[in-house]
Chains A and B, each alone.
Chain A
Amino acid sequence: MSENKFDQKMKENLKKNETEIPKKVQMRIDETLNSLPERKKTRFIKKGVASVVAAVASATFVFGVGYHNEAMADVLKKVPFIDSVFKLSNETTLKEVKNKNMATNVEKSATDKEMTVQIKEVIYDGSRISIGYVIHSEKGLDGNNNPFIDYRVDGKKLSNYGAGGSVFRYDANTFMGVMHLDTAKKLPERFELEMHFTKIGRKEGNWKLSFPVRENNSENKTILVNKTKISGERKVTVEKMTLAPTSTEVIMELEQPSDKEMELSFELKNDKGEKLDIMALSGLGDGRYKVIYEPLDKETSYFTLTPKSRNDADTDKMLKKLGMKIEFR
């Protein structure tokens, strides 16, 4: 048989046989993919940005399927008792929130397709909502349990928002998850939040849960900064900053000539020079922006805010003049 014919026959023969990934390896792959951290992104203010730029949230709706299981009580008995997802998560800020009793316990459940979703707790610190939930199935869960969720606030579909989070395994039948929501518009002090899970991992279904949320800003500190820096034709004004347990919010205004408009990002560093990641960025109109960073260590005595361009050292040198130091105490 010629080399080519032999090769062709080999390929045909081998491909007839589908390789099956052993369960053990498959589980490890799915768990690894599930536990990947959200990418630390530098977010840029783009021309005419007026929406929240954050992790993409799902917008799929599934209507008309009953979501309440008659045997709900039985199912719930089987869901392991988890006191707090925040406490068990790997986010120190959420652990702190829980320790300080700032989170509200929810305990709402919905069951569909033999899967139960249970909301455990919620915290809304005025700028971001964080929700802790549990996914349980008596049939066992594989590694992929990323949820697709639609949100409603007081019955109105939430648009212009960013959502992102993580899921992690509790036991063979249970996963825990944390979801963060950032909205462009300030939400009311009290509202009813509806979370409609339309897909969990590869399973489509209907898990709709609704619960009250109340702003807890007791630990927040707002600083009215009102500081302006001008360099050439560009002007940056930081209006105010809010230091909350789960986030740092900066409201600023950026003016630049329309013909020389640049895509900029704003780097926030603490007094140790450590950079804080941007979690969400939204345009408020008229050149005003709300930037949400990760929470700032309360021990910080000052921080610096510097505009940055996309990888251009010369522009960055010029932009440095627009940077400012903001005293914390």
Chain B
Amino acid sequence: LPSEKEIKLARKGDKNAFVRIIKEQEVSMYRISKSILKSEDECADAIQETILKAYDSIHKLKEVKYFKTWLIRILINQCSAILKKNENIISIEEWMMPSEKEDEKVLEVQEAVERLSDELKLVVTLYYFEDFGIKTIAEMAGIPEGTVKSRLSRARTELAIELGSENERGVGNVRK
């Protein structure tokens, strides 16, 4: 997490401090946007808008300790807006390169996460990758805590099945 001092400087209008704290969060921002959006272009759009919005309003951030939560909330809102806008558009990238993802050599756990439905993917990314608590995730995603819990529980079941079967395949077992 960026130091409170850096966030305070950014809040006071220090552009360089703002750049530094965003650079520290860029991987998280990409990961979370990718859990909601399909194409790289959409992720780039959402992150760009988030940076500009955050820069415009960081002076209003009351508690520096909530900086990351605040930033991710802006990002999720941006992603949702893009998702809504592009509802009926199939992105060229997605259409042209459907098989590219399958060729990537990623850990099977990550593959399994990527196969989850969109609503589960976001909650799983925030919970497992970013270590946010259930209450915070509920606030950021704008859903009740109960929904976060039930989505996590569904995700756990789906991941367990997915990973279980993958493991079996991996060692050459045939399921009967």
Contacts and interface: CB of A to CB of B under 8 A. Distances in A.
Interface in B108-159: 109-110, 113, 127-129, 131, 156, 159
B101 interface: no
Contacts of B109: 10, 13-14, 17
A33 B16 CA distance: 9
Interface string A1-28: 1010011001101111111011011101
Interface in A159-188: none
Interface stretch (A36-44, A266-274, A313-321): A36-44
Interface stretch (B26-34, B64-72, B73-81, B84-92): B26-34
Interface string B54-65: 010000000000
A29 interface: yes
A146 interface: yes
A141 to B, nearest CB: 16
Contacts, number: 80
Given A17-B106, A32-B52, A24 B41 contact: yes
Residue of A7, A14, A56 ringed by the most chain B CB atoms within 10 A: A14
B123 to A, nearest CB: 12
B156 A29 contact: no
Contact of B27 (A21, A41, A144): A21
A32 B128 contact: no
Given A21-B26, A28-B44, A28-B47, A15 B129 contact: yes
A19 B31 contact: yes
B40 interface: yes
Interface bracket on A: 20 to 34
Contact of A36 (B18, B26, B113): B18
A14 B41 contact: no
Contacts of B55: 36
Contacts of B23: 33
Contact of A33 (B13, B22, B110, B160): B22
A7 B153 CA distance: 11
A16 B16 contact: no
A310 to B, nearest CB: 13
B36 interface: no
B169 interface: no
A76 to B, nearest CB: 30
A15 B128 CA distance: 8
Contacts of A11: 128, 131
A17 B47 contact: no
Contacts of B1: none
B128 A10 contact: yes
Nearest to A11: B128
B43 interface: yes
Contacts of B47: 25, 28-29, 32
A29 B22 CA distance: 9
Nearest to A33: B19
Given A25-B40, A33-B23, A17 B107 contact: yes
Nearest to B109: A13
B40 A39 contact: no
Contacts of A15: 129
Contact of A41 (B13, B51, B110): B13
A15 B109 CA distance: 10
20 contacts: A1-B160, A7-B127, A7-B156, A10-B128, A14-B110, A14-B128, A15-B129, A17-B106, A17-B107, A24-B44, A29-B22, A29-B26, A29-B47, A36-B19, A36-B52, A36-B55, A38-B15, A56-B14, A144-B19, A146-B19
Q: Which 5 A-B pairs have the closest CB atoms?
A: A39-B13, A28-B44, A13-B109, A25-B44, A32-B48
Given A29-B26, A33-B51, A146-B19, 12 more contacts: A7-B128, A7-B156, A10-B159, A14-B107, A14-B110, A15-B129, A28-B48, A32-B48, A33-B19, A33-B22, A36-B18, A56-B16
Interface of A: 1, 3, 6-7, 10-11, 13-19, 21-22, 24-26, 28-29, 32-33, 36, 38-39, 41, 55-56, 144, 146
